[in-house]
Structure 1
Amino acid sequence: MLTPVLSDNWDQIRSWQLASYQRSGGYDALRTALRMQPADVVTAVKDSGLRGRGGAGFPTGMKWSFIPQDNPKPKYLVVNADESEPGTCKDIPLMLASPHTLVEGVIISAYAIRANTAFIYVRGEVLHVVRRLQQAVAEARAAGLIGLNILGSGYDLDVIVHAGAGAYICGEETALLDSLEGRRGQPRLRPPFPAVAGLYGCPTVINNVESIASVPSIINNGADWFGSMGTEKSKGPTLYSLSGHVTRPGQYEAPMGITLRQLLELAGGVREGHELKFWTPGGSSTPLLTADHLDIPLDYEGVAGAGSLLGTKALQIFDDTTCPVRATLRWTEFYKHESCGKCTPCREGTWWLVQILERLEAGKGSEEDLETLLDLCDNITGRSFCALADGATAPITSSIQHFKDDYVAHFTNGGCPFDPMLSTVFATAGASA
């Protein structure tokens, strides 16, 4: 069931070093790619069915094909390594354990779109990852894998590791471009799209770490091999991040379409003595699911059919001790804090969402507050520059849908029924009634 592809060399001694990576076939795919025409590399990725692993699931090869090759301006490849979605933790372990997997993917991908400069935009707080990437790029440059006339092919490429300054909004691709250009990270109005006018107004491809890191295995083993795993429309292996109330949290690489029930079996199940209450399929910006959804395929279509989004495949597991109101409030506080403030629905809306949720969580809310909360979400969703506001409303609307009784219990009993101190009071009051 498990398919170690991206994580295949993570258990090797000093897996992050070039010598270790090459012992397991590292950079063989680059040599193969450089013997191909760039357009053929794009076709191979397109035929593989690889879809963007950053959340949206857009076909990677198709994204590459949007770059206008008749445009005389330079082309750029930008890797979005600004992983900061609450619960999402797949790209940082990948870059830490095997940075050369990403670097090799960067060189092949840049060659495919005919770019001579590539940027890896990594979250500045993870300094250990920044240093490891810088070390990997330096090793690759010293070995003639980056620079002028790579492996005698006539192809030149410079790879730059850029550390961000710590803003969640820079995970949005156009805000990332503004940040790279030295401006405050804020989403851009589109069109024009980055493929036409991206970094420095030039044609630009922006891909997630896992998307780019998947490219060497496709070139090495073929599009059919990659497409043989996963489901009909969501192909290949991928990294699922399990965190929260699970016995063995961590990264689980498996074909797209595995179910949470199967992953929980591999991870030892929900922590002993407790049951699953709710979970996120793709980080905190995706609608919550419950134990009723344990058997849905974890692919883009299966999760969408259940009313949520696969997103970054960040499976946060919450057991029956968790208050959904409190969890939702914590997430909403994060989105309020990280809103860039460019558009009114998000800047003002997230502030009001926190005010109402705080009142409800403290047991001082009312049925009217619940209605106002849903009305606010309705007025925010789909009306902002980027998806941050939509992500802020998703856990709120879904938690009310699945756990309205828990919300009502807060203002009926004047406090959180999951608070150990108050639970005793509520139980005594119920017995005396």
Structure 2
Amino acid sequence: MTVAAEYGGTRPGAGSDPEKLLEPVLSAFWDEPESWTLETYRRHQGYEGMRKALAMAPDDVIAYVKDSGLRGRGGAGFPTGMKWQFIPQGDGKPHYLVVNADESEPGTCKDIPLLFANPHALIEGIVIACHAIRSNHAFIYLRGEVVPVLRRLHEAVREAYAAGFLGKDILGSGLDLDVVVHAGAGAYICGEETALLDSLEGRRGQPRLRPPFPAVAGLYACPTVVNNVESIASVPAILNKGKEWFRSMGSEKSPGFTLYSLSGHVANPGQYEAPLGITLRQLLDMSGGMRPGHRLKFWTPGGSSTPMFTDEHLDVPLDYEAVGAAGSMLGTKALQCFDETTCVVRAVTRWTEFYAHESCGKCTPCREGTYWLVQLLRDIEAGKGRAADLDKINDIADNINGKSFCALGDGAASPIFSSLTYFREEYEQHLAGRGCPFDPAKSTLWADNDAHLGVNA
């Protein structure tokens, strides 16, 4: 794992000096021996933000996080404090906090390293969030395949209980809080918050019809906040160092720091902590660029479910507004970079196979549409397609996009639309030349790099 958290300065998208360094926050001590222990965390001002939060009124904590401008790091970028504010008060029902640690998006690999190296940041953030929303129960829904992380998270929770940071009357504040670590069974669909809640309740993970939203009727039909790991883990530093400090980084509407997952045909893949608004060009400069002798062809700003970009977008500030204005989404900040040896048709086919496999089957557009997209794309890649197939896959994607129960359908359609926009001639080459013009022997993409890219083999 590579951690390069030294870049940025204040508001990189607004003309700041790129030579200034960002003091690492989430990744500050990942490389220290036993970084995951309570002892190490407390040496780095661990649980100081929690102490300050517990001395504040719950509504004041919500207002403070809201004023900081922290936005959800799970993909949608919804303001975290505002989500907490939606929880009804005085309703007589228990309130729940659910942490979405079911990281499954192809190319996304930030939450699992964070939990593996620094689980106490999440636990401290959970205590602060539960104090704010007046909750006595929190659940961490972890992707079940990552057993080493599961064990480490269990140990961190045990340490927190032993130190009095979880359990009854935390630090004499009157807050009682129990945390449950729940291992999922490896379904991508359970990354969708309502499918996650159904799975947590013991049912098959499938998206719920909304409204009602989780803030009103979530886990066990009670008010529930569902937040991403990085969102909650960012809260302690905000309380400890101040909202002004947090706002001094990033852009005006997307303030703060975040983790970028850089993978693919790059010299040094890994997690790069930087202010929101940094560009891919700057990140590539930090990481040593593309692999020697090759150039960037296309990339994803937020995992495979976000519309792809090309080398023309190297200087797009990586914040929610700028990426959206350029025609994509920041998503989970999973920057998958592909060089000129990569066949776009093959890449899109592999992504679509993933979405077809992971579709829960609840709604017809996604269940049927992803299946037929895979059949057509496989024919096109093999040189068996027809000219009409390009319009057909575009039409099928249009019938999925915005018409499925959840965002999985939209994610499946995104690579189709964007690849046809930027690389339609490559699809046409497969049709006219009766096959792929790229030599797979010259690309490491599908040979030994599948796990590295987060693409199913």
Letter in 2 for 1:270: M
User: Which of 328, 331, 334 is the equivalent residue of 1:314?
Assistant: 334
Question: Which residue does the alignment assign to 2:366?
Answer: 346
Question: Which residue does the alignment assign to 1:329?
Answer: 349
Question: Which residue does the alignment assign to 1:23?
Answer: 43
User: Which of 202, 216, 226 is the equivalent residue of 2:246?
Assistant: 226
Contact 1:298 1:310 (C-alpha < 8 Å) held by counterparts: yes
Question: Which residue does the alignment assign to 2:312?
Answer: 292
User: Which of 113, 134, 139 is the equivalent residue of 1:119?
Assistant: 139
User: Which of 219, 223, 235 is the equivalent residue of 1:215?
Assistant: 235
Question: Which residue does the alignment assign to 2:378?
Answer: 358
- CA apart distance, 1:420: 5.3
Question: Which residue does the alignment assign to 2:128?
Answer: 108
C-alpha distance in 1 between matches for 2:283 and 2:128: 32
1:302 aligns with 2:322: yes
How is 1:26-425 mapped onto 2 (pairs within 5 angstroms)? 26-419=46-439
Deviation track 1:224-258 (CA, whole Å, cap 9, x = no partner) reads 11011100100100000000000000000000000
Q: Cα gap change, 1:3/1:369 in structure 2, threshold over 3 Å: closer, same or farther?
A: farther
C-alpha distance in 2 between matches for 1:13 and 1:354: 46
Deviation track 1:6-31 (CA, whole Å, cap 9, x = no partner) reads 11121222110001111111011111
Contact 1:3 1:255 (C-alpha < 8 Å) held by counterparts: no
Q: Which runs of 5+ in 1 are unaligned?
A: 424-433
- CA apart distance, 1:150: 0.5
Question: Sequence identity of aligned pairs in percent?
Answer: 71
CA RMSD for the aligned pairs?
1.1
398-407 or 171-180, which moves further after superposition?
Answer: 398-407
Deviation track 1:316-336 (CA, whole Å, cap 9, x = no partner) reads 000000000000000000000
Deviation track 1:29-75 (CA, whole Å, cap 9, x = no partner) reads 11111111111111110000000000000000000000001211000
- CA apart distance, 1:3: 3.9
C-alpha distance in 2 between matches for 1:131 and 1:113: 28
- CA apart distance, 1:422: 12
Letter in 2 for 1:341: G
C-alpha distance in 2 between matches for 1:215 and 1:387: 26
Q: Which runs of 5+ in 2 are unaligned?
A: 1-7, 9-21, 444-457
Contact 2:302 2:334 (C-alpha < 8 Å) held by counterparts: yes
Question: Which residue does the alignment assign to 2:4?
Answer: none
Question: Which residue does the alignment assign to 2:18?
Answer: none
Q: TM-score scaled to structure 2, two decimals?
A: 0.91
Question: Which residue does the alignment assign to 1:428?
Answer: none
Which runs of at least 4 in structure 1 moved beyond 3 Å after TM superposition?
420-423
C-alpha distance in 2 between matches for 1:23 and 1:399: 48
Give the 3-state SS of the residue equivalent to 1:318 in structure 2. Answer: strand
Contact 1:416 1:422 (C-alpha < 8 Å) held by counterparts: no
The count of corresponding residues between Structure 1 and Structure 2 is: 423
Deviation track 1:95-138 (CA, whole Å, cap 9, x = no partner) reads 00000011111111111100000000000000111111110000
